[in-house]
Amino acid sequence: MSLLAGFTVIGGPSSEQLARRVASRLGSRYVGCDLRVFPDGESKITLKGKPSGRIVVVQSVYPPVDSNLVRALALVSQARKYSSQVYAVVPYMGYARQDREFLPREVVTMSLVAKMFKAAGAARMLVVDIHSMTALKHFQFPSKNVTAVGELVRYFKKMRLMDPLVVSPDMGGAGRARNFAGLLGTGYIALEKHRDRRSGEVTIKSSTNRDVRDRDIIIVDDMISTGGSIVKASEHLRKQRCGKIYATCTHALLIGDAEKRIKKAGVSRIVSTNTIPGRTAMVDVSPAIARAIA
């Protein structure tokens, strides 16, 4: 463990526990904050201490997305008053799926979000398994993506799985599945997913895959939001008589009854990281974040 003297980690309201772990791994000072939400929805944040030296602000942008985004920007802006070296760590970067114009006249909001972090005073950005590298390119200042795949694989290595097969629910995630499988020492496949851009409905277009039969499956994705992708992938794999199905991702948003629907589709366990706290957040990403900062 490196001791980064003169470093302060500020834990935003959405990432307090994770920020504490990052501070402890770095051997840095930790400063928390108080959050008060006014009746009209405005956030009022007060730092619990005075930061000094270089400052790391840790605040994920998960629901309520816009509120957590403003809180992240407010903390970066406040930190900038104490230091010119502000490192904005946004473990889950909301809006990263709006990284390009999919349909005519759509607003590419990721571009605005990136500009706002710069305007608020961030000198550097760190994100974890951002949805796409295109999203990262919107940051016109030093920015880095770190992956939690190593940490997730460590969790699965401790389990006794039957001839596991790693599955990406879509072709876009094939690289992630390949990395995961490589570290786990097993094979992988990628399904062909189609999402209707207007309705959001997901369909799996892949045909039968003989590799699947009787094997335990780990479906790997960057994030689970409504659960639609995992549900369709599980249904597809179960028809082919696979073994147990596990679903893993870095960011588990699990909107509405997603968890219930995923379990109903035959998934035995959902394993995610603490970029978004919750029942499935069994894997700690602070080692990856601390390594990247140090």
Least separation in angstroms between CB 169 and ligand R5P: 6
How many Cβ atoms from other residues are within 10 Å of residue 53's Cβ? 14
From 99, 129, 216, 221, residue interacting with ligand R5P (rule: CB under 6 A)? 221
Cα–Cα distance measured from residue 189 to residue 209, given in angstroms and rounded to the nearest whole number: 9
**Does the protein bind ligand R5P through residue 202 (CB under 6 A)?**
yes
Per CB under 6 A, the list member of 19, 125, 126, 224 interacting with ligand R5P is 224
The answer to whether 144 is a known catalytic residue is no
Task: Please report whether residue 226 would count as binding ligand R5P according to CB under 6 A.
Answer: yes
The one-letter code for the residue type at 220 is V
Site string for ligand R5P, 152-181 (x = CB under 6 A): -----------------xx-xx--------
The residues with which 194 forms a beta bridge, in sequence order, are 203
Considering only 5-13, 139-147, 183-191, 217-225, which stretch makes contact with ligand R5P by CB under 6 A? 217-225
Q: Are 224 and 252 in contact (CB under 8 A)?
A: yes
Residue closer to ligand R5P (CB basis): 165 or 224: 224
Stretch that binds ligand R5P, among 76-84, 137-145, 177-185, 219-227 (CB under 6 A): 219-227
The residues binding ligand R5P (CB under 6 A) are 169-170, 172-173, 202, 221-229
